[in-house]
Amino acid sequence: MANTILVGAQWGDEGKGKIIDVLTEDADIVVRTQGGNNAGHTVFLGPKKYVLHLIPSGILRKKKVCVIGNGVVIDPVSLVGEIDGLLKLNIEVTPKNLLISETAHLVLPYHRELDAQREVLKGKNKIGTTKRGIGPAYGDKVSRVGLRLIDLINPERFAEKLKIRIKENNEILKAFGAKPLSFKQVHDAYRAAGDRLKPFITNTVVYLHHATERKAGILYEGAQGTFLDIDHGTYPYVTSSNTTSGGACTGSGVPPNKMDRVVGVLKAYTTRVGEGPLPTENAEISDLLHGMGREFGSTTGRARRCGWFDAVATRHATMVNGIDELAVTNIDGLDTVENIKVCIAYRVGTKQYDHIPNDVEVLAKCVPVYAEFAGWKTPTDKITKFKDFPAKTKAYLKAIADLTGAKLTIASVGPAREQTIFL
Ligand code: GDP
Ligand code: IMO
Ligand code: MG
């Protein structure tokens, strides 16, 4: 397989987990490069549902190596829980098929607590985070006061550094009126997790360098989506990492000239979970999808906000990620819709936008300009070949790919592996 970066081209939950699982068949190695356990990637194997948070979705395939790269922030207690959960389901997870970067940063309990307290303080301006401590953990990394896995597995150094961090963070928590943390409790729980994880922890940059040299096929698994990117998203309603394709390089230590292609995953419509503008948000499609029991968050269980396909956004995503190929998922979600709308531009007063405006207050005022497509009004979930799609489905898929500006190569009509059509 060509070295592939897979990104979410919308606001997250595009169906990346499913597409990663499918593409892993042809890969040797799957690497997570950013984010933390805010992610929730769903994969179905037969009737069995797996939701991966930190471990790459490639873990469900035998004889593949999964890597958690340096750009990821790791809650080690939660990661041990995820490993144990997979072991219970008879999925193999050993230091042979899971490698964890020693320079990945730790998410600590004060990060989670601060995440929650800041959201309360923000009141109606809250971000709607997953409360997994992601923002404060990346904040500490950038402020150069973070602790890394390499510290966690060095007992003396970990105790020394943690003591200082708990002291400072307890002062901050006190100011919020929150309960201070016990050094001993945090220390003991994290050290126990560190002992469990130690055999998995290694220099993944060197490992990936050697793998690249020997021409292994590597799939870089993105988490979240383009418009949750800390630089290119709808700031401040974003997550705290680079979710766009550049994040795959910095988060793995593999340089851009070793990457061959970028695959953008997108839904045939749009969803977002959490606060922030969503220009095409629409009650009709929200009610329809929620009524079908779909579009509830895989990490927090929150109902996702739903809207029509936003080609302004996906075109922008092609621009900032360099998307070559598109994987469109959840086509079957539109099977019953009479008239399908696609946003082709935004308007604010007399001004028209064909890209996402940077000012989030302007974006919030954007009114979509829609093109309409006749719905196909027939189930697509059993279709296995592109030629068997109704003409109206083909026309819709061709239109959204053309508007997005990349080549459609995968069409997904259901959560299962078999419900995937390659073009
Ligand atoms: P991710 O975070 O991008 O991996 O996406 P999530 O797993 O959070 O959410 C995507 C949801 O869509 C999951 O419940 C998947 O099982 C489901 N899914 C993915 N592709 C399809 C599809 O083509 N059709 C249907 N019906 N469900 C899909
Ligand atoms: P996957 O990988 C969808 C959203 C949160 C919130 C914002 C910031 O499953 O696509 P954070 O906890 O990261 O500080 O929250 O980002 N968010 C996601 N939305 N899918 C995700 O991951 C997300 N991870 C974070 O809802 O709006
Ligand atoms: Mg998800």
Residue 416's domain is classified under what CATH number? Answer: 3.90.170.10
Question: From ligand 1's centre to the CA of 13, what distance in Å?
Answer: 7
Alpha helix (H) ranges present in 236-282? 246-250
Asked if residue 18 has its Cβ within 6 Å of ligand 1, the reply is: yes
Ligand nearest to the CA of 137: 2
Query: Given ligand 1 and candidates 32, 329, 419, which is best to mutate, with the most ligand atoms within 8 Å of its CB?
Result: 329
Kindly state whether residues 244 and 273 are assigned to the same domain. no
Share above pLDDT 90 across residues of the chain, in percent, rounded to a whole number: 98
Kindly state whether residues 243 and 145 are assigned to the same domain. no
Last residue of a domain, one of 166, 197, 228: 197
Span 331-352, pLDDT tens digits: 999 999 999 999 999 999 999 9
The two three-digit tokens of residue 54, written as one number: 């930190």
Kindly state whether residues 68 and 163 are assigned to the same domain. no
The residues carrying an active-site annotation are 13, 41
Indicate the average pLDDT of the chain. 97
Give the per-residue pLDDT at 299: 86
In this prediction, residues 60-64 reach a mean pLDDT of: 96
Kindly state whether residues 222 and 301 are assigned to the same domain. no
In this prediction, residues 52-73 reach a mean pLDDT of: 97
Kindly state whether residues 172 and 280 are assigned to the same domain. no
Identity of residue 197:
L
Identity of residue 100:
I
Q: Report the predicted TM-score, pTM, of the whole model to 2 decimal places.
A: 0.97
Kindly state whether residues 116 and 188 are assigned to the same domain. yes
In this prediction, residues 414-421 reach a mean pLDDT of: 97
Kindly state whether residues 145 and 250 are assigned to the same domain. no
What is the 3-state composition of the chain as percent helix, strand, coil, each rounded to the nearest 5?
40, 20, 40
Rounded (10°) CA dihedral 332, 333, 337, 343 = -110
Cα 108 versus chain centre, distance: 21
Question: Looking at the predicted structure, is the pLDDT value of residue 108 above 90?
Answer: yes
Contacts 24+ apart (CB under 8 A), 206-213: 207/67, 207/99, 208/29, 208/31, 208/67, 208/69, 208/252, 208/253, 208/254, 209/253, 209/254, 211/28, 211/29, 212/3, 212/254, 212/258
Give the per-residue pLDDT at 94: 98
Span 167-198, pLDDT tens digits: 999 999 999 999 999 999 999 999 999 999 99
Inter-CA distances, 214 with 56, 68, 300, 422, Å: 22, 20, 40, 28
The two three-digit tokens of residue 5, written as one number: 């970066």
The CATH number linked to 18 is: 3.40.440.10
The CATH number linked to 112 is: 1.10.300.10
| Atom 20 of ligand 2, nearest CA residue | 12
In this prediction, residues 219-234 reach a mean pLDDT of: 98
Kindly state whether residues 184 and 271 are assigned to the same domain. no
Last residue of a domain, one of 143, 171, 197: 197
Kindly state whether residues 171 and 233 are assigned to the same domain. no
Inter-CA distances, 120 with 123, 127, 275, Å: 5, 10, 14
Kindly state whether residues 114 and 60 are assigned to the same domain. no
Question: Looking at the predicted structure, is the pLDDT value of residue 407 above 90?
Answer: yes
Query: Can you give the residue range of the structural domain that contains 119?
Result: 105-197
In this prediction, residues 213-233 reach a mean pLDDT of: 97
Span 20-61, pLDDT tens digits: 999 999 999 999 999 999 999 999 998 999 999 999 999 999
Query: Which of ligand 2's atoms lies nearest the C-alpha of 276?
Result: 27
Domain count across the chain: 3
C-alpha to C-alpha distance for 55 and 30, rounded to whole angstroms: 10
C-alpha to C-alpha distance for 144 and 154, rounded to whole angstroms: 18
214 CB neighbour count, 10 Å cutoff: 7
C-alpha to C-alpha distance for 381 and 333, rounded to whole angstroms: 9
Question: Looking at the predicted structure, is the pLDDT value of residue 298 above 90?
Answer: no
Largest Cα–Cα separation, the chain: 66
Task: Collapse the DSSP code of 146 into the 3-class scheme (helix H, G, I; strand E, B; otherwise coil) and give the result.
Answer: coil
Question: Looking at the predicted structure, is the pLDDT value of residue 164 above 90?
Answer: yes
Kindly state whether residues 92 and 132 are assigned to the same domain. no
Question: From ligand 1's centre to the CA of 412, what distance in Å?
Answer: 9
Question: Looking at the predicted structure, is the pLDDT value of residue 245 above 90?
Answer: yes
Least confident residue range of 64-73, 289-298, 399-408, 409-418 = 289-298
Kindly state whether residues 249 and 183 are assigned to the same domain. no
Asked if residue 42 has its Cβ within 6 Å of ligand 1, the reply is: yes
Span 351-406, pLDDT tens digits: 999 999 999 999 999 999 999 999 999 999 999 999 999 999 999 999 999 999 99
How large is the C-alpha radius of gyration of the chain?
21
